Amino acid sequence: MRALVVEDQVLVRDAIAKRLRASGHAVDEAIDGATAESFVRSYIYDVWVLDRQLPDGDALLRLKAWREQGLTTPALFLTAFDRVSDRLSGFEVGGDDYLIKPFDMDELLARIAAIARRGSTIRPSIIRIADLEIDIGRREVRRSGMSLPLRNKEFVALQLLAERAGTVVSRGELIAGCWGEENQPASNAEEVIIASLRRKLGVPPLLRTVRGAGYILDAADGKATL
Q: What is the CATH number of the domain that holds 189?
A: 1.10.10.10
The Cα 81–Cα 87 span in angstroms is: 8
Average pLDDT of the chain to the nearest whole number: 86
User: Is cis: bond before 74, omega within 30 of 0?
Assistant: no
State the pLDDT at residue 69: 87
**Mean pLDDT, rounded, for 67-77:** 90
Domain total of the chain: 2
Instruction: Among 62, 85, 118, identify where a domain stops.
Output: 118
Residue range 177-190: average pLDDT? 72
* Cα distance between residue 95 and residue 89, in whole Å: 9
The pTM for the full model equals 0.61
Range of the domain at 6: 2-118
Single out the residue in 76, 91, 118 at which a domain terminates.
118
CA atoms within 13 A on the CB side of 180: 22
Q: Indicate whether 7 and 92 sit together in one domain.
A: yes
Select from 98, 118, 138 the last residue of a domain. Answer: 118
Residue 124's pLDDT is 58
The beta-carbon contacts of 84-87 under 8 Å, at least 24 apart in sequence, are none
